[in-house]
Amino acid sequence: MATVTSWPPAAYTDVTQAALGQLEDHLRLLTASLDRLRQQVQVSLEPQPVMADGWRLDNRDGDLIGPAGTEKRIRLTPSEAKLTNLLLRSQGRVVPRTAILAALGYGAGTHSQGRNVDTLVRRLRNKLEAASGEGLIETVFGFGYRWKGGEACR
């Protein structure tokens, strides 16, 4: 009758246990690294307000808040908030119509989409002028639009 030996032999068990211990250490380090990375990503994904010349766009709810002292809150549609975000981030530089079309998801831009931009700018201007009494968006003919809130707030 053959003798039955235990499997795995003791020598294999020691090597296997050592390898498993190293794997567990590596997994702990990897898990800790992933946790740190997840925290960094969550912080960067939190909507940050966009500010220019005292005006602040709250990206969480899409409201535009006036300069300190007035603190008027203007409720914006999603498209108006995208346009305002683009204008405020431009820091007074002209935003071309093509960039506005792209930000709104229109792509190449046909004549009718250009009219949509004009309508959107007009609606946004009306809201801003009603709240602030100032013309905060400037048309740069042949190019696009520029936030001129700095001039109006001074």
What would the DSSP string read from start to end of 72-130?
A: -EEE--HHHHHHHHHHHHTTTS-EEHHHHHHHTT-TT--HHHHHHHHHHHHHHHHHHHH
**Residue that wins the pLDDT comparison between 118 and 69:** 118
**pLDDT over 50 (residue 94):** yes
Q: Can you tell me the distance from the alpha carbon of 97 to that of 134, in angstroms, rounded to the nearest whole number?
A: 22
pLDDT of residue 154: 32
Q: Quick one: how far is CA 110 from the chain centroid?
A: 27
Given a contact cutoff of 8 angstroms between Cβ atoms, the answer to whether 88 and 51 are in contact is yes
User: What six digits make up the tokens of 38?
Assistant: 């997840």
Q: Mean pLDDT in the chain?
A: 79
* pTM of the shown model: 0.63
Range of weakest confidence among 34-38, 41-45, 98-102: 41-45
Q: What angle do CA 143, 149, 151 make, to 5 degrees?
A: 95
pLDDT of residue 153: 36
**Residue that wins the pLDDT comparison between 96 and 42:** 96
Length of the chain: 154
**pLDDT over 60 (residue 110):** no
